[in-house]
Structure 1
Amino acid sequence: MDTAESARQTDIEAITQVVATLEHAQQNELPDEFVGLFRADAIWTTGHGRRLFGREEISAFTHRVLPGAMKDSTATYEVEYVLFIRPDVAAVKARARYWTHDGEPVGNAGSPLYVMAKEDGHWRLVACQNTEVIDV
């Protein structure tokens, strides 16, 4: 593996860790950990279409809805594909699955898209949208 391939793999691992941290924050209802993943000027569209602009608005929403959100179920996230738009910008396609605490699937899967930027050596969420997957 050459240096460029090695750097790319390191970035994919770091991006995957951001998604794992997002999962951890949601599963454990940690709004500050969740919000800390976003760039200050990030935008986020929730799975129900609510548009949030900037970390402050994302924080207010997350602090209102995340505590108690996992009382009946939880979510897991799997990175499916990473497209590097530039070496420091990536579009990340993930698959979200929702589960009861007994491991039974709940509802439809989610299909989040995370655009991330690498700043000061850290990958941050910049523009995100979660979409419910409905089989037609």
Structure 2
Amino acid sequence: MTTEELTTPREADLEAIRAVVATLEHSQRNELPDEFVGLFREDALWTTGHGRRLYDRAEISEFTHRVLPGSMREGTVTYEVEHVLFIRPDVAAVKARAQYWTEEGGEPVGNPGSPLYVMAKEDGQWVMVACQNTEVIDG
């Protein structure tokens, strides 16, 4: 039996969703705007952690190509999937935890993030459709 045969469809989808978030982390840590933008559906919506609303992949791309290069020069970022709610078998709300760090294994920088990614499975691939980044303020 192959690994695929041992994995239920839901487990395979969870693993694929985690892989999207891992790619998001990789693209940010390595300042790869094209890899980042490639995670989004053409008509995706994204609200940044500071409230900027971007209404399609072209706007997301323009913004990302402007802000991502150089953003990791003083540290790094991690993302952890905390919860996945399947709205339908092909649509999921994904809650993650984001944290910026001074360096690999260093001290946390600023407040953690609490992004929400609505993803859809299209042509067998999970893509980001509507995303909201939110900074977590203590208190």
Please give the range of the TM-score, normalised by the shorter of the 2 chains: over 0.9
Give the structure 2 partner of residue 134 of structure 1: 137
SS at match of 1:48: coil
Q: C-alpha separation between the residues in 2 aligned to 1:52 and 1:117?
A: 18
Give the structure 2 partner of residue 106 of structure 1: 109
Aligned-residue offset at 1:135: 1.2
> Which one of the candidate residues 65, 68, 88 is aligned to 2:67?
65
Unaligned runs of 5+ in 1: none
Confirm whether residue 17 of structure 1 aligns to residue 19 of structure 2. yes
Aligned residues: 133
The CA deviation string for residues 16-72 of structure 1, in whole angstroms up to 9 with x for no partner, is 000000000000000000000000000000000000010000000000000001011
Query: Normalization by structure 1: what TM-score?
Result: 0.95
SS at match of 1:64: helix
Aligned-residue offset at 1:85: 0.2
Q: Percent identity?
A: 77
Give the structure 2 partner of residue 48 of structure 1: 50
RMSD in angstroms over aligned alpha carbons?
1.2
